[in-house]
Structure 1
Amino acid sequence: MAAAPEGGARSTQAGAPSAPPPIRALYVTGGGFHEFVKQESILPPGIASRAKVNWTIDHTAGTSTEVLIERHKDTAWTKDFDVVLYNMSFSFVVDVPWIERLAHAHRDSGVGAVILHGAVHSYRRSETRAWGELMGAFSLRHDSQRPLTVQVVAPNHPITKGLPNPWVTTKEELYELVQTWPSMTPLAEAHSVESNKSYPLVWTNTHGKAKVFVTSLGHNTEIIENPVYLDLVTRGLLWTVGKLQDDGTPRPGYAAR
């Protein structure tokens, strides 16, 4: 095989650059209150069918809502991944140094974060709001389950391209945001019939070096297996690693294989 030109990319055939490597993604899941085992069989493969992603699964938490998973005891994991998707419920973890180490690892390393539903309410009982700062928003409670009418408020953002407007969901929980940070950009919202206020339920945040995509949708497996939801989360993940084009499609080389 001929050597690659000095300073150039290796080629699979003359004049054709080799395909870029897949996105290295970690899926952290587990905890209580949700069907995490079933959702694990939907989310990672559903995203991998839409984008060039290699998954590592961490479901070591089991059904505990207060476990400190081994992977997060330090920040070595940041060297192995481009993005982490959090779909878990660690709502009774309150250890301040632990939470701050995790949130600051994203901030300082630039590893992207995708934070779904129960992960938004994880760590909320702690004295630190480092996790909220990573997300760009903080929530303590949610409305009762009911179908939500999702209104897109940033229709020109690449993440919302293709998202129905409005989009009426199956039964979901609307999270009430009690604090937002200036770095947070709302993409879609829904109205709370309980508080008579509208709250973002899809948004982005930039925290230090990290780009973060968040949606509080995803309580029930029925919405997670919806192609609209899988498309949305895939675009969000691609955005966090800089692989989403302005038209909402993957950059060349990052579509599903």
Structure 2
Amino acid sequence: MDSTHARRVLVVRGGWEGHRPVEATERFIPFLEEHGCAVDVHDGPEVYADAERMAATDLVLQCYTQGVATDEQVLGLSAAVAAGTGLAGWHGGVCDSFRGSPDYLHLTGGQWAAHPGGFVAYDVEVRPERADHELVAGLSPRWSMNTEQYWVLTDELNDVLATTTFQPADGTPWRDAVTCPAVWTRRWGRGKVFVSTLGHKLEDLDQPDVRTLTGRGLLWASR
């Protein structure tokens, strides 16, 4: 594709190194380029405050765990998404970013709260009523993981495509099974947001259903 007509993708990566932000995003940059995207990489959220640059961006792929963003940066990102720029990411790189920013939490619609037990075996289930959504169509209705299971706090604006359930056990402070969103999308103004809680380890991103879902989510969110 002619670069003048390519979708412009901004990869913002960094923060806590345990999520391997460079290696993780490098798994998807060639995929984006193969789909006609021009990719530019930044190692911090400073670019979010550049209104002109953000207006020309079709997709932000964020992989930035924890860290700090200024109000100007977060509001710049939120305004860009409301105007049509897509936002997509996985695991802590998108739903455990900028914990001190209510505006960022409002934009993404979910925040990591815990991963009880550390690495555990658990299932991700596609919601039957959303099984025909283009992001999950044709994927296994349930797939098994052995990694961090994210307990997230979310709101009802999200379109939840897949869930995961935490079972009570001896010693847990909860007494009933708790089902949390594992994958969701969100409309924000004219923009689209894609969040997957899957992807703590690089191997998680290589799991076939996860990789297919993530690639689809990136393209779906793009303007």
User: TM-score band (shorter)?
Assistant: 0.7 to 0.9
Give the TM-score taking structure 2 as reference length.
Answer: 0.83
Unaligned runs of 5+ in 1: 1-17, 62-68, 243-257
Residues in 1 aligned to 2:39 and 2:70: alpha-carbon distance in whole angstroms: 28
Where 2:19 maps in the other structure, the secondary structure is coil
Residues in 1 aligned to 2:201 and 2:190: alpha-carbon distance in whole angstroms: 32
- Do structure 1's residue 123 and structure 2's residue 98 form an aligned pair? yes
Q: Deviations over 1:22-58 (max 9, x none)?
A: 3221111112122123223312124444x33222122
Equivalent of residue 40 in structure 2, options 50, 53, 56: 56
Relative distance call for 1:101 and 1:117 in structure 2 (3 A) is same
> What residue number does 2:182 align with?
201
Residues in 1 aligned to 2:37 and 2:151: alpha-carbon distance in whole angstroms: 32
> What residue number does 1:185 align with?
159
1:94 Cα shift? 5.8
Paired residues, number: 210
Relative distance call for 1:166 and 1:179 in structure 2 (3 A) is closer
Give the TM-score taking structure 1 as reference length.
Answer: 0.73
8 Å contact 1:183–1:207 — kept in the other structure? no
8 Å contact 2:49–2:72 — kept in the other structure? no
- Do structure 1's residue 172 and structure 2's residue 139 form an aligned pair? no
Equivalent of residue 21 in structure 2, options 20, 30, 36: 36
Q: CA RMSD in A?
A: 2.4
Relative distance call for 1:166 and 1:54 in structure 2 (3 A) is same
Larger Rg: 1 or 2? Answer: 1
Equivalence map 1:1-257=2 (5 Å)? 21-32=5-16, 33-49=18-34, 51-58=35-42, 60-61=43-44, 69-89=45-65, 91-93=66-68, 95-107=70-82, 109-118=83-92, 119-124=94-99, 126=100, 128-143=101-116, 144-153=118-127, 154-169=130-145, 171-180=146-155, 182-193=156-167, 195=174, 196-241=177-222
Give percent identity, aligned residues only: 26
Unaligned runs of 5+ in 2: none
Amino acid at match of 2:195: V
1:155 Cα shift? 0.2
Where 2:68 maps in the other structure, the secondary structure is coil
Relative distance call for 1:146 and 1:135 in structure 2 (3 A) is same
Higher mean alpha-carbon deviation, 187-196 vs 97-106, is at 97-106
